Amino acid sequence: MDAHSPPSADYQLAHAEIRTIIIGVMLAMFLSALDQTIIATALPTIGAQFGDLESISWVVTAYLLTGTAVTPLVGKLADIHGPRPVLLASIALFLIGSVLCALAPGMMWMIAGRAVQGLGGGGLIALAQTIIGLLVAPRERGRYQAYFAAVFITSSIAGPILGGFFAEHLHWSLIFWINVPLGIGAAAMSDRALRRLPAHHHPHRLDILGAGLMCVATVLLLLALTWGGTRFAWASAPIIALLAGSAVVWAGFAVRVVTAAEPLLPVAVLSNQVVRTGVPAAAFAMGTLIGLSIQLPLYLEGVLRLSASASGMALIPLMGGVVVGATGAGRMMSRAVHYKRLSFVGLLAAIAALLVLAVWPIGLHVFTVCAAMGVVGIGLGTVLPVSTVAIQNAVPLPQMGTATGVVNFFRSLGGAVLTAGFGAIVIGMSGIEGGSLLEALLAGETRVGPLAGAFRWVFAAAAAALSISLVALLLMEERPLRSGHAPAPTLTE
């Protein structure tokens, strides 16, 4: 074998070689994971500088939207060309978007930069999951769980603290500038590490039209959720037209999925029982996590009266709890036959904690709120590895990248929709106009009652979303995890 050529597909990597590849991929994953946590506590400050609170959810939504659209394409590109060139291109796009955001003179520029950033960031975690799926059998992935736990523990703790510190004491643009040296380091190490990855190239066609239809349908839906109850009444003609237009384009997207030679979301994958039940379980869990992580700083600063730095600290239990839950569930999967049980218990506990916050959105001590959010995080974390590994276990190796892309597609879509939905509840039900809420929040003069009342419904909506995730998980077939890369059960069963 040539020193510069990748190993053949039947080449068996040693544990040390697998570890080297995983460490390289971890750096790329850290970029995307850190970006999801570091920006949350800085959003109110960014909205303050640009004088636009109503649009700050789009700073997150634009990232999620482009990341959602590109994820299935990235999965197929990885199946066609291998993950190394696709990962390097994703890092490059992520860094370009980061620089655009750091230099943004206004909110629209910021949103556009985040859209570019999403094109790169949307592929990083999906590619990491695909690479692990190629390297490690489902039952053996718990052996490497500590490496991923290290990434998410670091990003979950460092992200909110750095975001709040930069926003309060330095400048919010540093949350984007910090990506540049990290990205360059990730690209250098990933390039070397992934040359060791055995070649797994499979021919696919890219469904650009399907991706475009999905983007248009999602944008129309998100505009309706963002503008409804704020710029326009929910029953007004513009909102009805947006919702109707979204429904029509989604119908066109469904037709495209059924009729295209190789659609963005393959029917063969979607028809698998594990996929069609595991995907909504993951989507509603991840959507709840992203939506809460974006809206909670407003609750912590506006209702509990915490500073930006303190609100970053208060987010740690939620994000750290996700890592604890995911690590525990991942390790249990390698040993337990009934690997879904921990997720059942976790989701039930998370729903109960959210209902407590919904009943008492005001009056609870900050430590009680943090404890409740820690329980929510642990419960959410148990769902993510169980759903992803179960889906990867149910498909053959040539469809690994595509199936992982489908999971991340719907996870990102759930995040975009629930983030916009939670934001619509906060703005629409607080009884305060977006600009007035921004000024009052920054001056520490928010009317706590109306804002707390809005978050009562946010927490209730989050509990409802996790209830859907729980039902989907209950319906998901619990297939034995493979110990090697033997063919998975047929995709059409």
In a domain, 471, yes or no: yes
Take residue 418 and report the two structure tokens written for it: 């629930």
* Whether 290 and 244 share a structural domain: no
pLDDT in the model for residue 331: 75
If asked whether residues 57 and 46 sit together in one domain, one would say yes
Residue 387 located in a structural domain: yes
pLDDT at position 335: 72
Residue with tokens 């979950």: 156
Q: Is 199 a domain residue?
A: no
N residues, the chain: 493
Residue 399 shares a structural domain with residue 431: yes
Write down the pTM of the prediction. Answer: 0.70
pLDDT in tens, 269-289: 777 888 888 888 988 998 898
Q: Give the model's pLDDT for residue 8.
A: 47
Within this chain, do residues 217 and 281 fall inside the same structural domain, yes or no?
Answer: no
Which residues in the chain come in under a pLDDT of 70?
Answer: 1-20, 24, 36-37, 40-41, 52-55, 57, 75, 79, 125-126, 129-130, 133-150, 152-153, 156, 192-205, 226, 229-230, 308, 334, 336, 397-402, 430-448, 482-493
Q: Are residues 256 and 271 in the same domain?
A: no
In a domain, 198, yes or no: no
Tell me how far apart the alpha carbons of residues 237 and 396 are, in angstroms, rounded to a whole number.
47
In this prediction, residue 460 carries a pLDDT of: 93
Tell whether 36 and 181 lie within a shared domain: yes
Name residues whose C-beta falls within 8 Å of residue 239's C-beta, 6 or more positions apart in sequence. 224, 227, 228, 232, 233
Residue 306 lies in a domain: yes
CB atoms within 10 A of CB 468: 17
Q: Is residue 99 part of a domain?
A: yes
User: What is the signed CA dihedral for 190, 191, 193, 196, rounded to 10 degrees?
Assistant: 140
391 and 457, same domain (yes or no): yes
Burial letters for 388-425: b for 16+ Cβ neighbours within 10 Å, e otherwise?
Answer: bbbbbbbbebebbbbbbbbbbbbbbbbbbbbbbbbbbb
Same domain, 121 and 137: yes
The parent domain of residue 127 ranges over 15-193+262-475
Residues 215 and 250 in one domain: yes
Q: Is 170 exposed, middle or buried (0-12, 13-18, 19+ CB in 10 A)?
A: exposed
Q: Are residues 45 and 169 in the same domain?
A: yes
3-state secondary structure of 368: helix
**CB–CB of 383/343 below 8 Å?**
yes
142 assigned to some structural domain? yes
Q: What DSSP character marks residue 490?
A: P
Q: How far is CA 430 from CA 96, 227, 426, in A?
A: 37, 15, 6
pLDDT score at 129: 66
Q: How many domains, the chain?
A: 2
Q: Are residues 278 and 352 part of one domain?
A: yes
Q: Are residues 27 and 165 in the same domain?
A: yes
Residue of 367, 377, 362 lying closest to 447 (CA atoms): 362
The answer to whether residue 60 is domain-embedded is: yes
CATH code for the domain in which residue 43 is found: 1.20.1250.20
| Predicted local distance difference test score (pLDDT) of residue 30 | 77
CA 402 to mean position of chain CA atoms: 17
- pLDDT on residue 491: 36
